[in-house]
Structure 1
Amino acid sequence: MTRIAVELVPRSEEDLISELELIKKEFPEVNGINVPDLLRFDLRSWDACTVVKRYYPTAIPHLRAIDISVQDPLPMMETLLKNEITEVLVLTGDPPQSMTRKVYPTTSIDMIRKFKKELPHIKVYAAIDPYRDSLRKEYDYIRRKIDAGADGFFTQPFFDLRYMEIFAELFGGLEVFWGVSPVTSEKSVSYWETKNHVVFPADFQPTLAWNSDFARKALAFARETKGHIYFMPIRTDLKDYLSQVFAS
């Protein structure tokens, strides 16, 4: 069965609860939540997922490898075990803006291996970024993550079904959450093109209508290919966006 998740930013516990209650009430199609770990907010992803677990059995925290020493115990271990959080997404992580915060030379592959050794019952997802490098290099990186023990993948958001089809051929039966994120302003377009090296399709329009239509097509694609999907509504009204995505 296709799993449908929504990525929620943990700005505060109060805001998170408000969004969870909205989704739970209005959008029964959603059956899980994934939570990024953003240093500008006090609530770490695994702590936010303890809140998510009150509403959904599936709560997937993002974990930044560069925050973790491979020599020390996993700092989130107790929280994961106590709250029965059984899935995580491992990312390398961007360096903090302030270098007063300690970071480590830990890679996502190091972190995957550490998790599979210390918490072998935890399902570890790794990241796929279709834009970061050549297709050949990304494919090789995916294979290395699988060799390290990755159980599945979350992709960076896609904006083109043709590109999703190419990557689907490379996955060969892997468990994948396809990413979709609405981009509804010229400023956001510039960010995605400059920061994430996205190439938008020729018919792309930075409107809620175009993005919602694409999200519906991506959901259909995920179901057809027996994959999963997550929606990342950054700077877009959560209710407005999901209402259109799940419109019958």
Structure 2
Amino acid sequence: MGRISVELIPRSEDGLRDDLQIVKKNAPGVELINIPDLLRFDMRSWQGAAIAQEYFPAVMPHIRAIDVDLSQPLSMRPELRQSGITEVLVIEGDPPQDMSHKFYPTVTTDVISKFHQEMPEVKVYAGIDQYRGSMRQELYRIQRKLQAGAVGFFTQPFFDIRFMEMYADMLEGQNVYWGVSPVMSERSQSYWELKNNVIFPKGFQPTLEWSIEFSKKALKFAEERDANLYLMPIKSNLEAYLQGVLG
């Protein structure tokens, strides 16, 4: 199959290093580390990715489009080049809760194009949100991102193999990282349902056991299609989850 990626949140340098060691020890099949850019933490994604490079050669920081001022050079360009980072994931990004943080009406396709202009050596990936509208609407967004220069896509987490199969038909021939994430509580389930419009399948349970079993099915799904898998172990026991899925 393709690559297996794990998303690690850069809450602090020590915490990130601990998580990287857990992945290194418990998930030998992982080749790529994704680092999201979360404004509530001091460390930016490209700074966390530079740390992750000490453990894994392939790293991918997330770049929030709404943080990019199109009238100025990419602010993270010096640090990306200094670290030798050659892959990024451009996402739209949510407006900050702290309005002292400046943001812009920039869309992902503009940032993808800007990377091609200013950092042509960098491969730019884009997101797929299979819950924000119809498949036809999302396909249009995907086509726009391909035209802007995206080389591949990372999906939002799936929780139903049947839904994955529908998207696999639509995305045939594309370089896709199929996302999965454990849901560990009824509160988390409600968050996915209310904020992200997820409809969980019959028999779903917000437990580590259910999440591990579904992630193993998603791994088989990716293996059968020579595709990539994107693990997002949010608010779960990282070691137990990785051992359960990849052990």
TM-based fold match above 0.5: yes
Per the alignment, residue 155 of structure 2 pairs with 155
Asked if 1 retains the 8 angstrom alpha-carbon contact of 2:37 and 2:61, the reply is yes
Asked if 1 retains the 8 angstrom alpha-carbon contact of 2:26 and 2:242, the reply is no
SS in 1 for 2:11: coil
Per the alignment, residue 111 of structure 2 pairs with 111
- 1:194-240 Cα shifts (integer Å, max 9, x gaps): 11111101121111111100000101111111110111111101001
Aligned partner of 1:80: which letter?
A: L
Aligned partner of 2:142: which letter?
A: I
The answer to whether residue 234 in structure 2 is matched with residue 234 in structure 1 is yes
Per the alignment, residue 128 of structure 1 pairs with 128
SS in 2 for 1:74: coil
Q: Distance in 2 between matches of 1:81 and 1:20?
A: 22
Per the alignment, residue 21 of structure 1 pairs with 21
SS in 2 for 1:177: strand
1:27, distance to aligned residue in structure 2 (A): 1.6
5 Å-filtered alignment, 1:17-166, equals 17-166=17-166
Q: Distance in 2 between matches of 1:80 and 1:100?
A: 25
Gaps of 5+ in 1: none
SS in 2 for 1:31: strand
1:139, distance to aligned residue in structure 2 (A): 0.8
1:81, distance to aligned residue in structure 2 (A): 1.2
| TM-score of the superposed pair, with normalisation by structure 1 | 0.98
- 1:92-131 Cα shifts (integer Å, max 9, x gaps): 1000012111111110111011011111121100000010
Q: Distance in 1 between matches of 2:188 and 2:130?
A: 18
Aligned partner of 2:37: which letter?
A: D
Aligned partner of 1:9: which letter?
A: I
Per the alignment, residue 167 of structure 1 pairs with 167
- Percent identical pairs in the alignment equals 54
Q: Distance in 2 between matches of 1:104 and 1:188?
A: 30
1:172, distance to aligned residue in structure 2 (A): 2.2
Aligned partner of 1:136: which letter?
A: R
Moved over 2 A (4+): none
Q: Distance in 1 between matches of 2:3 and 2:37?
A: 22
- 1:125-149 Cα shifts (integer Å, max 9, x gaps): 0000010111110111111111111
Q: Distance in 1 between matches of 2:118 and 2:226?
A: 30
Q: Distance in 2 between matches of 1:159 and 1:49?
A: 27
1:34, distance to aligned residue in structure 2 (A): 0.1
Gaps of 5+ in 2: none
Per the alignment, residue 178 of structure 1 pairs with 178
| TM-score of the superposed pair, with normalisation by structure 2 | 0.98
1:26, distance to aligned residue in structure 2 (A): 2.2
Aligned pair count reads 247
Q: Distance in 1 between matches of 2:84 and 2:174?
A: 24
Per the alignment, residue 7 of structure 1 pairs with 7
Q: Distance in 2 between matches of 1:190 and 1:89?
A: 27
Q: Distance in 1 between matches of 2:92 and 2:27?
A: 32
Per mean C-alpha deviation after superposition, the further-off stretch among 237-246 and 34-43 is: 237-246
